[in-house]
Structure 1
Amino acid sequence: MYVGHCFSAMMEFMLLLLLLTVVQSEEKIGSCKDMLQGYLTGQLSSALGAYQVEALKREFKSFTDVIEKSMRAFERNVETKLRSIQSTSNGSAIYTRWGKKSCPKSAELVLSGYVGGSHYTHTGAAVDALCLPRNPEWGNYRDGTDGNKAYVYGAEYETHRLFGKWHSVNEHDVHCAVCLVRSRSVVKMFPGRKTCDNGWKLEYHGYLMAGYHGHNAGTTYKCVDSDPESLQGSQTNNNGYLFYMVEAVCGSLKCPPYVDGREFVCVVCSLENCASMGAVPSPEVMKFILLLITFAGAQAEGDNGNCKEILQGYLTGQLSSALGAYQVEALRREFKSFTEGMEKSMKELEQNVEKKLDNIKNTANSSVVYTRWGRKNCPTGAELVLSGYVGGSRHTHSGAAVEPLCLPRKPEWGNYKDGTDGPKAFIYGAEYETGDLSGKWLKLHDHDVPCAVCLVRHRSVVKMFPATKVCKEGWKLEYHGYLMAGYHGHAAGTSYTCIDNDPESLHGGGNVNSNGYLLYMVEARCGSLKCPPYVEGREIVCTVCSLEK
């Protein structure tokens, strides 16, 4: 579906040029033929004087000069626009390939390094993992772990109870690679999948990993390559930031299609933009288009030249009878009608080609992806990539991965061993915790939460803005809602998420209190937060906006 969307604009443009070229040629040949036949089949009665012949020659020359000038300007304008489209359509995207020191063949290596992060025992841990360079640079520093600081440790696989190659990398340090892919507008990690949809390109697939649920430090879900590598000579158990396999836990998470205790796979996919699929002309195609336009111009000039030569030949002495004043005036009127038709046809050609070029430019621009939390579908103007369920860590787990995930309704699986066996990270379903609210929010209390992954084209940025429900000028509203997160007294860390203003629940999810990843309204607290303009205890709204190209 994505390929067809991009390619159709280019095909329409090519067909338009061909059609208009043929139509123009037929119109011009027909006009010339009709004009000559009318005067060569009995309407001529006398010879033209020299003055009338010169006047007609001047009118023909003026007309052909205008057409030639218009065609040259038209060709230059089309060439400039095509080059502009080519130069602005080749967007790039970047991602980290966790567990490998190199990038896939189609990607460029930006950095090959080591994974680093907070220590698994630290309650105040920074939750995200970093890809650290092998040759670090420094600013101002004072060596020694002095004073109140945050820390970065190395990372290790915790896979001693797993199978095959995963068992062999247990307690080894973890590689990472930062990869650049050109002619891509979006890179997205999809949990519960190991293949990419049509129009998306596979970067790599693997297994979802995170910190152990019982540790003190929060973490994030990472897609670690299915063929993991480790650092040479790194099998010492130094701990640090630890990677465990992620398993499904039934309850608020729907089973089936999910299976209790089964390991999650994941895939990283990139969206090919129109330039890489042929909607934006390559240099070779650009040359062909310009050749076609030049041919159209030459055809127009050639047909007009033939007509001019035939008329001028007969108007300069080859006529056998004289034209009277009435016939000369009739000839002038028909010639004027012919030239006006040609000029109108040229203007229409230019306008139509300009319109098609603008359409091609629009389809070649980049796209963005975002998740609409609390809804099954995307807003009007956005394409649905995935409709699924919200999942995440359990609210009682201190070592929780903090962010929610949008899980597919039809999961895929890799190698697995069912059952919640050994130290692992987990994914539960998500529920609204809105029992102290009113209206539609109260009705949703303890219901499971849907989600939709949405694609919007011709956008360069998508951003969630807290404490605002309208988008600034130049930005387009995707959706607005309320800011939600985990309860402050629970053991698990979470992240702020914008839940749609008109929330839905999963069909058949009911209001069974299975818990899992829980979503509460977010209120303002004065102090370090300035009040006013904020108000103590007031619920915070949010909006998701995209920037139009």
Structure 2
Amino acid sequence: MEVKIKVLLCLTLVSLVCCTPDKRLVLHSSEDMAHLISTLESKVNILEAEVSGLKAIKSTGGGTFIRWGRTTCPSNGTEFIYKGYMAGDKWNEYGGGANNLCLPDDPTWNQYVDGYNSGSTIYGTEIELDSTVSSKLFGKQTVNQDIPCAVCRSARASHVMLPARANCYPGWTEEYGGYLISSHQGWKASSDFVCLDSGLEFVPHGSGNDDDHVVKPVEVRCGTLGSLPCPPFVDGRELACVVCTK
């Protein structure tokens, strides 16, 4: 394929460089031919360099996503960037950020003043749910366990978290699946909706009931209890989720 492209480029360049208006090729000597070949080779080399540059840009593209609840990245060609701890606002305090963060387990610091100085705060995250729900969703007891996270890079540039889906739509690659979680609607602190991996890992020695940043599985309210239709939704059912790339 590359040879054919080069031939076509050469023919095109010949017509541009050394043809008369009536399309007849005019070469007066062997020196003319040598000059023409040198010119064509130079232009082809420039084009090859540009193509190589475009390929390099394409090969270094991609997108990142957070795998909540795990310390590793999927084994489907994704790149591991770092692992750490899921963190957010304390459940019974106002203010702060409403989003969850994945704090790395190897933090570095700029300038600082030790001791609490009336700044905004952030806490580690634990999950709270009924033991029966825990066993059904995760196959083990997860109550009050602290949640880890991993940041991953996929060569596939687009990524999306699909709520209320247990699998990706055709043409997309599944990175991981699990259950939608957020803070409870009766708490002061808000939390964005994220997808917690169904193969949930725990932070070592993180099973204490710290009641800091707390998340729960998201349940649908529909029909007479909400604006969502039942069906296709089912009232009181925990929502699945999946992270997909393309």
Matched, 1:402 2:98: yes
Relative contact order (C-alpha < 8 Å, sep 6+): which is higher? 2
In structure 2, relative to structure 1, the CA distance for the partners of 1:541 and 1:396 (3 Å cut) is: same
Give the aligned partner of residue 443 of structure 1: 141
Pairing of 1:416-431 with structure 2 (within 5 A): 416-422=112-118, 424-431=119-126
Amino acid at match of 2:121: F
CA contact (8 A) 1:386 1:452 kept: yes
CA contact (8 A) 1:433 1:518 kept: yes
Q: Separation in 2 of the partners of 1:543 and 1:430?
A: 21
Q: Separation in 2 of the partners of 1:501 and 1:543?
A: 10
Q: Separation in 1 of the partners of 2:198 and 2:43?
A: 47
CA contact (8 A) 2:134 2:142 kept: no
Give the aligned partner of residue 483 of structure 1: 180
CA contact (8 A) 2:83 2:151 kept: yes
Matched, 1:432 2:130: no
CA contact (8 A) 1:484 1:522 kept: yes
Higher helix share: 1
CA contact (8 A) 2:175 2:243 kept: yes
Q: Separation in 2 of the partners of 1:71 and 1:421?
A: 64
In structure 2, relative to structure 1, the CA distance for the partners of 1:470 and 1:74 (3 Å cut) is: same
In structure 2, relative to structure 1, the CA distance for the partners of 1:287 and 1:501 (3 Å cut) is: same
Q: Separation in 2 of the partners of 1:370 and 1:520?
A: 21
Q: How many residues align?
A: 206
Q: TM-score, normalised by structure 2?
A: 0.75
In structure 2, relative to structure 1, the CA distance for the partners of 1:71 and 1:497 (3 Å cut) is: closer
Matched, 1:535 2:231: no
Q: TM-score, normalised by structure 1?
A: 0.35
CA contact (8 A) 1:434 1:441 kept: no
Pairing of 1:331-410 with structure 2 (within 5 A): 360=55, 363-364=58-59, 366-380=61-75, 381-410=77-106
Greater C-alpha radius of gyration: 1
In structure 2, relative to structure 1, the CA distance for the partners of 1:442 and 1:290 (3 Å cut) is: closer
Amino acid at match of 1:369: T
Amino acid at match of 1:75: K
Q: Report the 3-state secondary structure (helix = DSSP H, G, I; strand = E; otherwise coil) of the residue aligned with 1:504.
A: coil
Shift of 1:362: 8.8
> Pick from 267, 288, 291: which aligns with 2:45?
288
Give the aligned partner of residue 212 of structure 2: 516
Shift of 1:455: 0.2
Shift of 1:434: 2.3
Matched, 1:496 2:193: yes
In structure 2, relative to structure 1, the CA distance for the partners of 1:291 and 1:476 (3 Å cut) is: closer
Shift of 1:400: 3.4
Q: Separation in 2 of the partners of 1:490 and 1:521?
A: 14
In structure 2, relative to structure 1, the CA distance for the partners of 1:507 and 1:287 (3 Å cut) is: farther
Give the aligned partner of residue 544 of structure 1: 243
**What CA deviation, in whole Å up to 9, does each residue of 1:12-51 have, x standing for no partner?**
xxxxxxxxxxxxxxxxxxxxxxxxxxxxxxxxxxxxxxxx
Shift of 1:508: 2.8
Amino acid at match of 1:426: T
Q: Report the 3-state secondary structure (helix = DSSP H, G, I; strand = E; otherwise coil) of the residue aligned with 1:389.
A: strand
In structure 2, relative to structure 1, the CA distance for the partners of 1:384 and 1:367 (3 Å cut) is: same
CA contact (8 A) 1:400 1:493 kept: no
Pairing of 1:103-114 with structure 2 (within 5 A): none
Q: Separation in 2 of the partners of 1:435 and 1:478?
A: 27
**What CA deviation, in whole Å up to 9, does each residue of 1:223-282 have, x standing for no partner?**
xxxxxxxxxxxxxxxxxxxxxxxxxxxxxxxxxxxxxxxxxxxxxxxxxxxxxxxxxxxx
Q: Separation in 1 of the partners of 2:71 and 2:2?
A: 52
In structure 2, relative to structure 1, the CA distance for the partners of 1:415 and 1:489 (3 Å cut) is: same
Give the aligned partner of residue 19 of structure 1: none
**What CA deviation, in whole Å up to 9, does each residue of 1:315-361 have, x standing for no partner?**
xxxxxxxxxxxxxxxxxxxxxxxxxxxxxxxxxxxxxxxxx98x947
Give the aligned partner of residue 258 of structure 1: none
Q: Report the 3-state secondary structure (helix = DSSP H, G, I; strand = E; otherwise coil) of the residue aligned with 1:370.
A: strand
Pairing of 1:175-190 with structure 2 (within 5 A): none
Root-mean-square deviation (CA, aligned residues, Å) is 2.9
Give the aligned partner of residue 464 of structure 1: 161
